[in-house]
Amino acid sequence: MLSLEEAQSRAQDLVTAARKAGADAADAIYACNASTTVAVRLGALEDVERSEGEEIGLRVFIGQRSASISASDMNPATLATLIDRSIAMAREAPEDPYAGLAPEDRLLRKRAPSLDLVDDEEEPEPAALRERALIAEEAARSIPGITNSEGGGAASGRSQVALATSHGFAGAYAATNHSTWASVLAGSGADMQRDHASHASRHLKDLDDAEAVGIRAGQRAVARLNPGKVDSGVMPVIFDPRIGSSLVGHLIGGMVGPAIARRSSFLLDSLGETLFDSKITIIDDPLLLRGLRSRPFDGEGLPVERRALIEDGVLTGWLMDSASARQLGLEPTGHASRGGAGAPGAGITNVHMEAGSLSVGELMADVKRGIYVTELIGMGVNGVTGDYSRGAAGFLIENGAVGPAVSEITIAGNLKDMFRTLVPANDLMFRYAMNVPTLRVDGMTVAGG
User: Could you report the per-residue pLDDT of 220-229, keeping only the tens digit for each?
Assistant: 999 999 999 8
- Identify any residues that bridge with 372 across adjacent strands, giving them in sequence order: 238, 395
233, 207: one domain = no
In this prediction, residue 449 carries a pLDDT of 64
In this prediction, residue 21 carries a pLDDT of 95
What is the distance between the alpha carbons of residues 244 and 411, in angstroms, rounded to a whole number?
13
314, 417: one domain = yes
User: Could you report the per-residue pLDDT of 17-61, keeping only the tens digit for each?
Assistant: 999 999 999 999 999 999 999 999 999 999 999 999 999 999 999
- For the beta carbon of residue 231, count every other beta carbon within 10 angstroms: 9
Phi, psi of 9 (to 5 degrees): -65, -40
Q: How confident is the model at residue 89 (pLDDT cuts 50, 70, 90)?
A: very high
Q: Judge contact between 224 and 405, C-beta under 8 A.
A: yes
103, 249: one domain = no
32, 162: one domain = yes
Kindly tell me if the per-residue pLDDT of 14 is higher than 80. yes
286, 406: one domain = yes
Q: At what angle do helices 126-141 and 210-223 cross, to 10 degrees?
A: 30
Q: How confident is the model at residue 239 (pLDDT cuts 50, 70, 90)?
A: very high
Last residue of a domain, one of 222, 240, 264: 222
Last residue of a domain, one of 198, 222, 246: 222
367, 435: one domain = yes
User: Could you report the per-residue pLDDT of 137-159, keeping only the tens digit for each?
Assistant: 999 999 999 999 999 999 999 99
Query: How many angstroms separate the first and last alpha carbons of the chain?
Result: 52
CATH number for the domain that contains residue 138:
3.30.2290.10
What type of residue sits at position 82?
Answer: L
172, 203: one domain = yes
315, 392: one domain = yes
- For the beta carbon of residue 342, count every other beta carbon within 10 angstroms: 12
In this prediction, residue 191 carries a pLDDT of 87
Q: Which helix (H) or strand (E) holds 373?
A: strand 369-377
What is the distance between the alpha carbons of residues 252 and 404, in angstroms, rounded to a whole number?
33
Q: How confident is the model at residue 1 (pLDDT cuts 50, 70, 90)?
A: confident
175, 277: one domain = no
Alpha-helical segments (H) within 49-200: 76-92, 126-141
Last residue of a domain, one of 184, 202, 222: 222
What type of residue sits at position 429?
Answer: M
196, 258: one domain = no
In total, how many domains does the chain have?
2
Q: Judge contact between 60 and 18, C-beta under 8 A.
A: yes
Q: Judge contact between 176 and 119, C-beta under 8 A.
A: yes
Q: Which helix (H) or strand (E) holds 236?
A: strand 233-239
Return the closest-CA partner of residue 409 out of 272, 233, 269, 210. 233
- Identify any residues that bridge with 423 across adjacent strands, giving them in sequence order: 440
User: Could you report the per-residue pLDDT of 309-366, keeping only the tens digit for each?
Assistant: 999 999 999 999 999 999 999 999 999 998 877 889 999 999 999 999 999 999 999 9
Owning domain of residue 387 = 227-449
258, 401: one domain = yes
As to burial, measured by CB atoms within 10 angstroms (0-12 exposed, 13-18 middle, 19+ buried), residue 81 is middle
Q: Judge contact between 299 and 336, C-beta under 8 A.
A: yes
DSSP SS3 for 339: coil
149, 269: one domain = no
